[in-house]
Amino acid sequence: MKFGHNLPRNQVPEWASSYINYKGLKKLIKNAAEASKNGSDPDLTEFFFSLDRNLEDVDNFYNRKYAEFSRRLRILHGRYGRAAQLPEGIDKDEAQDLMGALLELRGSMRKLQWYGEVNRRGFNKITKKLDKKIKTVRLQEPYLASKVNPKPFAHNLPLNQDMKAVNEWLSGLGDIKTFDDTGSTHSAGSLGRVPGRSLHLPSGLLDAADLAIRNDKAEDLGQQIAEAAANNGITSSSMQQVLLNFLQRSISCRSKQCIKRLLQDIISLDEDDDINKRNCVHRLVINIGRSKSGETFGADGTRQPSSNEAGNFIVPATDPNRQPRPCTTTEEESTQLLSENDESVRLLIYLLDELRDEQRNALQARDSYGRLPLHYAAQYGFVVICQVVIKHMQDWGQFDVAQGIDSPDWQDTDGNAPLHLSVMGGHVLTTKTLLEAENWRGTHEQRRASRKSSARSGAVLSLATRSNFVGIVKLLVEADIDVNYQDEGGETALHMAARYGYDECAKVLLEGSNTNKADVDVPEKTFAWTPLFIACVDDHLSIVEILAAAGADLHRCDNSGWTAKEHAALRGHMQVAERLCELAPTTISPRVAPTDARISRAGSPPQNSLDERRSKNLNRDTNSPVQKVPEPVKTFGHRYLTNETMVLVSLGSMDVRKDTPAVKLDDIPLADAHATQLDTALSVVVQASGAKGEPTVIDLPIQDNIATEPITFMTSDVTKVKLLFDIVPTYAGTHERSMGRAVALLSTIKTSIGSKRIPLQGDMKVPIVAASTLDVIGTVNFNFLIITPFHHPNMSITEQHTYWKKMASSTMVIGHRGLGKNTASRTSLQLGENTIQSFISAANLGAEYVEFDVQLTKDHVPVIYHDFLVSETGIDAPVHTLTLDQFLHIGEGSNPRYARTGSPDRTSHLNGAEEDRPNVRRPRSYSVDNSKQRNIHTDRAEELTERMKHTRDFKKKGFKGNSRGYSIQSSFTTLERMFDEVPQSVGFNVEMKYPMLHESEEEEMDQYAVELNSFVDTILEKVYDKMGERNIIFSSFNPDICLMLSFKQPSIPVLFLTDAGTSPVGDVRAASLQEAIRFASRWNLLGVVSAATPLVMCPRLVKVVKESGLVCVSYGMLNNDPKNVLLQRNEGIDAVIVDSVLRVRQGLQAPNQENTDVIENDATSLAVPPSESVPSIKEASEAQENRANGTTTCTNGVDGTHAVNGTAHEQKVA
């Protein structure tokens, strides 16, 4: 089964149709096996006939390809002799061509070798399957021995010998010296060919001819030619080959008189035995381009020769390419480096002028790539060379541009005309020269009509736009290249400019010409995305503004029924979404029913245009069947760990701020070309030693989204796990022969920083060591997460302990940090956030759940505190650096102390680590207190402010939550006390507050924290100890915490918190609502808790979450306005986390404007002047319990006066 499953992956793509039809043969075996079960003899005639035909087809294909490759090798042998006989001196250009040809030939032979091996294994497997399925047949051994094994593809012996010869050639080329006397076209080195071998010319004659060429003595050369031709005839093919060799030698030495003499006797310049089927004109143009490419002018005005470093290396994991490398010299430099008076140019002009009529077809001869000399002149971008070639082609009647210079007649085997190569190189002046040359022949209308019909003509504009060559884009638009040309996917050049954020190109395209105007709303074919959609998906605000100014339809829907603004908001591009809100305010409208709408089952995102992270891979299948919207599903627990530990391995980096490839292979020096096998398609195989789990094969280069798709392994002892990363050939058909390996020991790969502490930096890098040489050939970047099982006697899967995907029939109200987070405003009464009193008050006012933040102290006690840094200490101290006693003492330190000693209150044991501590009694009301006692509050608040004024958080906000002067301050509390003192009818939304790397950097904290498993296990243990019948929901902004919570227990649901793009993050999984949906669906979480901004801005996004089978909850300042909550409720949101509990709850119950006004007026009725005495917590509690019955309302400082507009950024709730 595995062979058939992996066969498509192991096929060379361009030869895929020529492999064994394994699937078809397997089906025939299945049919025969079913017949034999019925008692009848199996009829295998059809199977054997098909098997023999498959064998013939594979053998014929292999032999045909091998004959082609061996012919090319024989040409090299005939031209240069054997590898061991390579001359000591060889021209640099000839050596470069030879090296490229050998590398490509070896690459092709290697593919053929793998083709043979995979097919041999296929015949082995299929005959084995026949013997296994039909017991009466014993076919495998005789069939393989008589028919398969004798075939060349099964043993590869001649091919292996040829590959060995090629490697010897490469090794020899790496050792010999190349001659290039002047660093330009003048070379005194031998071409390395042995043309006289077939004629048995004496070495003295060849040396004399060489001397005559060096000294440009045409008469002496003529004598040598006459002597050589005496016995062979001047027109014989062998003698013509000698003359062509002499001509090439004369061109290299710039011996003009010898060139003129040789052209008299040469019949044709075509050279059938050339590696690339090029003639001397091809080679001279390429030679000029190579020698001048990379040259620059130094500060003193002198020429600096090119080191051409890029040409000295082979790029790994790609097929060899023997085409000349593109020019690295800028066009401005090239015009200074090469003028019409340059010796190289004068030589080219002289050569072309001296050609006889029958030799002039050399200028329109095509090489093995279908290229003319003009192609290479355009590719290297030397204007003067293009002008020389074009002028001679025109004079000789070879320059037919009636259909345009980019018409199919001018295109090479890859479909590129000289114009395309010039554009790809960014050569503005060369492009201009080619376009102007059109005007010398043909009419404007003819060319325009031709370009409309030619696919490649329009494609050149997309090429220029993709590379952001603004000058070339202008030229092409003015030359009437079709601005609205659509490629196979329906995309125009304007789509390209929108995708990459090229403002200037977009402006040029939109401006167009008098007869060539861009359509700003052209849809592509996959999702009907216009350029505006592309700009929104890829977060290019400036392009959005340019397109909007050009009249783009801002309200247009794609074929899935979504607007550009919704796409931007879903992907976390909030600036773009906000700008679109300003440009085109919209009212809520029902979603347009898409013609090909596909909504996936619960647990996975809908398969439509909202799935794509970016616009670069618009290749979704559009023929999937329509699926129904999922109903709320009752989930009876989920997969969780019982005995084994899980290891999740992700290639690449989770950090969106890093541009780190998952696998980076070093370039291979050409000197090592003979020894490397890395110049081919490669894959990385990820496997684990000491753990269970199938090896995972990933092709290189690795896609961007691989980091969010971890590979899973299970183990009983994580200290024995070794991760292995093997580099293997993609098409070899086996992963046993690895070319290199990287190894990571999980027990030691991360730096140890003490007991139960880990660094927050998760990315690891290990070197890849070559299997043959043990050299380091690259690196693997990865990260991993270890999840250990959690056990508790109260943990079980029962119907009472399961949860619903839809939490309630109506939108639930969850109190944020109790009765709401504290603000700097003093316009209304505030209870201290994350305090017992605040939670009780929120419950009294109708909150079904209360949300709070849990962190661990240094001695691993769960406490309730929002910020990572405890500013009340007067320093920026992280919670995990304080013991429980220190933490609680700081909280008590904010309360005033009295001159007289109060009798201690009843004490409680909250945790084994907590000790009895007296609580000082306070007067029932400070309103009757004397002035001295009233001053205690003011003094204490000022003292606390003075202490905190240098802390980071206080400098940033100007105040601190749950502190005197801003709220009714109360002491800090623990998770255990929460369970003990908050009524059991109130559900807990327990947010696990654990820093991610980017958060620790923002807070300027040390980048380490409590070990993840220890952190989660400690809190889970306390929750299961105390939860009873209480409803519990876990949530966290940290994706790894969510994974752990999900895999450690089956009964408490987990929600993933996300900023949804309203603030910058580091982890890709937390970057947007789209990524949150992917993450929650991938790991079967209950749902997501999103910042309210995208959901208020685009309420239909609530349904995107719901249609993914997830619960949708929102948080943020916008939720304090009942109108915003109603927008979300109408789309089916499950719950909202709010500060103004009563106000929002009443707004949901009576959503008309009149009631909302009453609520707003009532909410501000308790406004207190800042100078007034603040009532005690006990008084506030009693007052709120009474007011909850309807007499008065207490808000927590966030009422109608604090609502923010729809474009405000959310502050993280964590």
Could you report the per-residue pLDDT of 932-943, keeping only the tens digit for each?
444 545 555 566
Lookup result for tokens 């490419």: 293
**211 lies in a domain?**
no
**346 lies in a domain?**
yes
CB atoms within 10 A of CB 175: 11
Lookup result for tokens 């601190």: 960
Domain termination residue (choose one: 157, 179, 201): 179
Lookup result for tokens 């200490």: 873
* Contact status, residue 76 vs residue 162, Cβ threshold 8 Å: no
306-365 pLDDT, tens digit each: 444 445 677 776 666 545 555 555 555 555 566 777 888 999 999 999 999 999 999 999
Instruction: Give the pLDDT score at 893.
Output: 52
The CATH number of whichever domain residue 683 belongs to comes to 2.60.40.150
406-415 pLDDT, tens digit each: 888 899 888 8
Instruction: Give the pLDDT score at 114.
Output: 85
State whether 141 and 282 are in the same domain.
no
**1073 lies in a domain?**
yes
Rounded-to-integer distance, Cα 243 and Cα 220, Å: 14
φ, ψ for residue 304, nearest 5 deg? -110, 115
State whether 780 and 821 are in the same domain.
no
State whether 170 and 101 are in the same domain.
yes
Identify the CA nearest to 1190 among candidates 1148, 1145, 1139: 1145
In the structure encoding, which two tokens stand for residue 1207, read together? 């474009």
**806 lies in a domain?**
no
Among 64-68, 141-145, 331-335, 466-470, the least confident range: 331-335
* Contact status, residue 262 vs residue 312, Cβ threshold 8 Å: no
- Residues contacting 500, CB < 8 A, separation 6+: 466, 468, 538, 540
* Contact status, residue 967 vs residue 834, Cβ threshold 8 Å: no
Q: Which residue has the higher pLDDT, 1187 or 1152?
A: 1152
Sign of CA dihedral 388, 391, 396, 397: positive
State whether 674 and 782 are in the same domain.
yes
pLDDT bucket at 714, cuts 50 / 70 / 90: very high
What's 745's DSSP letter?
Answer: E
State whether 847 and 704 are in the same domain.
no
Rounded-to-integer distance, Cα 1141 and Cα 1117, Å: 12
In the structure encoding, which two tokens stand for residue 587, read together? 């009212």
Domain termination residue (choose one: 770, 787, 804): 787
Q: Which residue has the higher pLDDT, 145 or 1183?
A: 145
What is the domain count for the chain?
4
State whether 676 and 725 are in the same domain.
yes
State whether 160 and 14 are in the same domain.
yes
Rounded-to-integer distance, Cα 838 and Cα 1196, Å: 9
Domain termination residue (choose one: 137, 152, 179): 179
Buried b or exposed e, range 216-244, using 16+ CB within 10 angstroms: bbbebbbebbeebbeebebeeeebbbbbb
State whether 817 and 769 are in the same domain.
no
Q: What is the DSSP string of 631-685?
A: PP-EE------SSSEEEEEEES-SBTT----SEEEPPEEGGGGGG---SS-EEEE
Sign of CA dihedral 386, 392, 397, 398: negative
Q: How many Å separate Cα 990 from the centre of its chain?
A: 33
State whether 868 and 774 are in the same domain.
no
Instruction: Give the pLDDT score at 300.
Output: 43
**568 lies in a domain?**
no
pTM value is: 0.77
157-207 pLDDT, tens digit each: 898 888 888 888 888 776 665 554 433 333 333 433 544 445 567 888 888
Q: E-assigned strands of 862-942? A: 862-864, 869-870, 877-878
986-1031 pLDDT, tens digit each: 889 999 999 888 777 777 777 788 889 999 999 999 999 998 889 9
**975 lies in a domain?**
yes
- Residues contacting 778, CB < 8 A, separation 6+: 316, 663, 664, 665, 666, 727, 740, 767, 768
**41 lies in a domain?**
yes
State whether 653 and 712 are in the same domain.
yes
**588 lies in a domain?**
no
The CATH number of whichever domain residue 1093 belongs to comes to 3.20.20.190
Rounded-to-integer distance, Cα 412 and Cα 370, Å: 4
pLDDT at 950 over 60: yes
- Percent share of the chain, pLDDT over 70: 72
The CATH number of whichever domain residue 338 belongs to comes to 1.25.40.20
Q: Domain limits at 12?
A: 2-179
State whether 673 and 768 are in the same domain.
yes
840-869 pLDDT, tens digit each: 887 787 778 888 999 999 999 999 988 888
- Residues contacting 373, CB < 8 A, separation 6+: 281, 282, 285, 363, 389
Instruction: Give the pLDDT score at 975.
Output: 92
State whether 843 and 975 are in the same domain.
yes
Instruction: Give the pLDDT score at 1203.
Output: 34
Rounded-to-integer distance, Cα 606 and Cα 1105, Å: 9
